[in-house]
Amino acid sequence: MASFFARTRRFSLVSLFLLELFTINLIPTTDAQIGICYGMMGNNLPPANEVIALYKANNIKRMRLYDPNQPALNALRDSGIELILGIPNSDLQTLATNQDSVRQWVQRNVLNFYPSVKIKYIAVGNEVSPVGGSSWLAQYVLPATQNVYQAIRAQGLHDQIKVTTAIDMTLIGNSFPPSKGSFRSDVRSYLDPFIGYLVYAGAPLLVNVYPYFSHIGNPRDISLPYALFTSPGVMVQDGPNGYQNLFDAMLDSVHAALDNTGIGWVNVVVSESGWPSDGGSATSYDNARIYLDNLIRHVGKGTPRRPWATEAYLFAMFDENQKSPELEKHFGVFYPNKQKKYPFGFGGERRDGEIVEGDFNGTVSLKSDM
């Protein structure tokens, strides 16, 4: 893509104009409708058909599934809910090395349901890193993704269903200031070829973004109001861009890291973000309510670096009692009995453009190293 742009400089003004139109066309046109991740690590959760009914009753039009759960996929038929369909990390090696398994997986979990199930993305693995505990899986992410992409392409569906993966913020080496965002040097050999694939396929990168964990990891320098969208003004000035909340700063550090590779333009989808209501430092019902409500209201504005609507997915639909440590049990926006935990809606509504305020016990200093 970068070399393509370079060659166009030699073309006529007409060619440059056409290139500009092409580039504008790359900008996502998604609205700010929020999605919610449907995790199933609980022994007291309602059946899938009731969960999909709950999504519809609450105007939740996007879902992330972490594996091709058949009851959930069947319940999603003709629901109109757009889907991120996950491939578990445990399947990566097989799908990277066995073409028959790839074809069978796509037939069983995609072709058997699409288009009555509106599969939008396939997430090949979640938070795999070439360093740390999942490092042995990293070698399989790109070949598995390419194999699934080719199987989707063979059906002529590669423009409708984008194949990608989900990463977390630990792959970011520098995030402050956001414009200097860059990936860690020890993950570039893993990420750069994947970014090249995303540019080729026109697919977004899915990123799990949690201001909560950044705040509790450095509460002295990252204030609670900054993490909760409630700072009274700009807290970080980065050239022409001012940052009033940590979410934007984190997300723009990913945008910059992608741009600074020079490989090509890649859109980012926030595939998880949330705040636990109990179980750890800075966890409370009010903190979680304020963060989630403000996130829903905020994503329609985009970020300073990319000022158009951000596609984002809340984590998670339910409190899941089989997760650990304790705080992981309390990310739900619904209780397992299907009662809403918080009073807000999920349609990205705004109240006269106002941001919800609250009372905090957080520090006020800010460095925002994230």
Q: Name the phi and psi angles at 240, rounded to 5.
A: -75, -10
**By mean pLDDT, which of 108-122, 184-198, 354-368 is the weakest?**
354-368
Q: What confidence score (pLDDT) does residue 321 get?
A: 97
Residue 189 has pLDDT above 50, yes or no: yes
CA distance 19 to 23: 6
Write out pLDDT tens, residues 138-169. 999 999 999 999 999 999 999 999 999 999 99
Q: What confidence score (pLDDT) does residue 33 get?
A: 72
What beta strand segments (E) does the chain contain?
35-38, 62-65, 82-87, 118-126, 162-168, 172-174, 182-183, 205-208, 236-238, 241-243, 268-273, 312-314
pLDDT grade for 32, boundaries at 50, 70 and 90:
low
Q: What confidence score (pLDDT) does residue 16 get?
A: 29
Q: What confidence score (pLDDT) does residue 31 get?
A: 52
Residue 352 has pLDDT above 60, yes or no: no
Q: Give the pLDDT mean for 188-208.
A: 98
Q: What confidence score (pLDDT) does residue 5 get?
A: 32
CA distance 350 to 101: 46
Residue 84 has pLDDT above 50, yes or no: yes
Residue 21 has pLDDT above 70, yes or no: no
Active site residue 272: yes
With pLDDT > 70 as the criterion, what percentage of the chain qualifies? 85
Any idea which fold 30-334 has? Answer: TIM Barrel (3.20.20)
Smallest CA-to-CA distance from 31 within 350, 289, 264 is with 350
Of 272, 311, 320, 328, which residue is the catalytic one? 272
**By mean pLDDT, which of 9-23, 244-258, 320-334 is the weakest?**
9-23
Of 20, 50, 82, 127, which residue is the catalytic one? 127
Active site residue 311: no
**By mean pLDDT, which of 25-34, 102-111, 261-270, 294-303 is the weakest?**
25-34
**Residue 176 three-state SS:** coil
Q: What confidence score (pLDDT) does residue 336 get?
A: 98
Domain borders along the chain are: 30-334
Q: Give the pLDDT mean for 235-263.
A: 97
Q: 241-243 and 236-238 as β-strands: parallel, antiparallel, unpaired?
A: antiparallel
